[in-house]
């Protein structure tokens, strides 16, 4: 019997037989990897590693409201945290879009400075960053509206209708607007305004020596404020006093973060405080502000014992970091360009976290603590 003759596809050891299916099979994983890589780059563009700061600052506001005797609604806090994170990410996407020229001109950026660096690679188009910012703005607005509605229902006792129709829904919305926490809404809207004005024309605040103040305003002032207001807390004198040190510390952090970016920023005509005064004077400014904070400010503010201890707890880290910041021309040292901005950010997170511990201590042991004048 004659041996069975195999088809060309079966005998094609070179891979030409059945080549189309093989090529499609080979292409599929590549396409999947490409899509996954682009998704990761899109996430990286939002710089989610910075989100811990806004979480800690929100917690400060919630704890102060608890100290004031307000009942804490966890659902409201979760909804507000979603709003804060969406706004935080929105700011990063819009910032990468607005700072495109400066980031492209920056050859000295470390891992924690100079934006996300995703747009430099060309894997994501510049316009995508702005589009993501707008999408996140919609999400943040909806999440914020949820916070307002829950406040009106929970705190102002707005009743929900038994049925929802063309008559009851407008009436419900009118009642929610009447009972809305308008200071909370105003501070929230100011954050949206600053987020876009920070990076985009015509104001472009980050390119007009106001970026450091804008970041500190949103992160270390508005974030605790809205956290407190949504829990029906009050923005009193002691609340503002507590925030002064972290506001100044974060202002300093932003100055340090801008030092490695000075050359690229100057080339793109982005005027930061460091572009105005230079790296050396920025280091001296950092030294002076921290000496003032630890030697004078923290002793003069009417803080409780726990709050004062909380601010002094990260002092060893601050001392070590200040020694490194005073290293000659550290911004030309690649290792320090990476690690100094990272540690500066870590120090702020530690300071705010320690403050949360101090506030929690006072909440549980308030009869034992009183502001020291």
Read off the pLDDT of residues 185-231 as tens digits, 9 standing for 90 and up.
999 999 999 999 999 999 999 999 999 999 999 999 999 999 999 99
User: Which residue shows structure tokens 């400075």?
Assistant: 113
Those residues with Cβ within 8 angstroms of residue 218's Cβ, 6 or more apart along the chain or in another chain: 91, 191, 194, 195
E-strand spans in 265-319? none
Q: Which residues contact 58 (CB under 8 A, 6 or more apart)?
A: 77, 80, 81, 84, 223, 224, 226, 227
Q: What is the mean pLDDT of residues 115-120?
A: 93
The pLDDT tens digits for 129-176 are 999 999 999 999 999 999 999 999 999 999 999 899 999 999 999 999
**2.60.40, 1.10.600, 1.10.1760, 1.20.120: CATH of 49-368:** 1.10.600
Q: Is the pLDDT of residue 369 over 70?
A: no
CB atoms within 10 A of CB 332: 11
Return the DSSP state at 49.
Answer: G
Model-level pTM? Answer: 0.88
- Domain parsing of the chain, residue ranges: 49-368
């Amino acid at each position: 019997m004659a041996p069975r003759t195999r088809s060309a596809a079966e005998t094609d050891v070179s891979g030409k037989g059945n080549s189309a299916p093989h090529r499609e099979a080979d292409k599929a994983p590549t396409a999947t990897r490409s899509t996954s890589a682009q998704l990761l780059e899109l996430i990286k563009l939002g710089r989610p590693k910075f989100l811990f700061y806004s979480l800690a600052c929100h917690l400060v506001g919630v704890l102060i409201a608890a100290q004031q005797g307000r009942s804490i609604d966890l659902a409201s806090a979760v909804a507000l945290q979603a709003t804060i994170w969406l706004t935080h990410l929105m700011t990063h996407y819009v910032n990468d879009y607005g700072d495109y020229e400066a980031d492209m001109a920056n050859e000295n950026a470390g891992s924690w400075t100079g934006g996300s660096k995703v747009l430099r690679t060309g894997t994501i188009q510049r316009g995508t960053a702005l589009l993501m910012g707008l999408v996140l703005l919609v999400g943040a607005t909806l999440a914020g509206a949820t916070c307002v509605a829950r406040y009106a229902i929970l705190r102002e006792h707005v009743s929900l209708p038994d049925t929802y129709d063309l008559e009851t829904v407008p009436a419900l919305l009118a009642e929610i607007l009447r009972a809305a926490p308008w200071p909370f809404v105003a501070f929230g809207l100011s954050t949206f305004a600053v987020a876009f004005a920070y990076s985009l024309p015509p104001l472009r605040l980050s390119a007009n020596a106001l970026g450091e103040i804008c970041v500190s305003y949103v992160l270390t002032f508005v974030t605790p404020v809205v956290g407190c207001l949504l829990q029906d807390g009050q923005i009193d004198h002691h609340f503002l006093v507590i925030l002064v040190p972290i506001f100044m510390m974060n202002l300093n952090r932003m100055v340090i973060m801008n030092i490695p970016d000075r050359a690229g920023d100057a080339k793109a005509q982005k005027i930061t405080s460091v572009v105005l005064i230079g790296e050396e004077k920025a280091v001296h400014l950092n030294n002076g502000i921290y000496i003032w904070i630890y030697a004078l400010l923290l002793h003069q503010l009417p803080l409780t014992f726990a709050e004062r201890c909380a601010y002094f707890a990260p002092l060893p880290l601050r001392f070590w970091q200040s020694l490194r910041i005073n290293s000659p021309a550290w911004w030309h040292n690649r290792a320090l360009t990476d690690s100094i901005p990272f540690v500066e950010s870590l120090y702020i997170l530690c300071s705010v976290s320690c403050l949360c511990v101090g506030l929690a201590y006072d909440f549980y042991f308030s009869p034992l603590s009183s502001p020291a004048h």
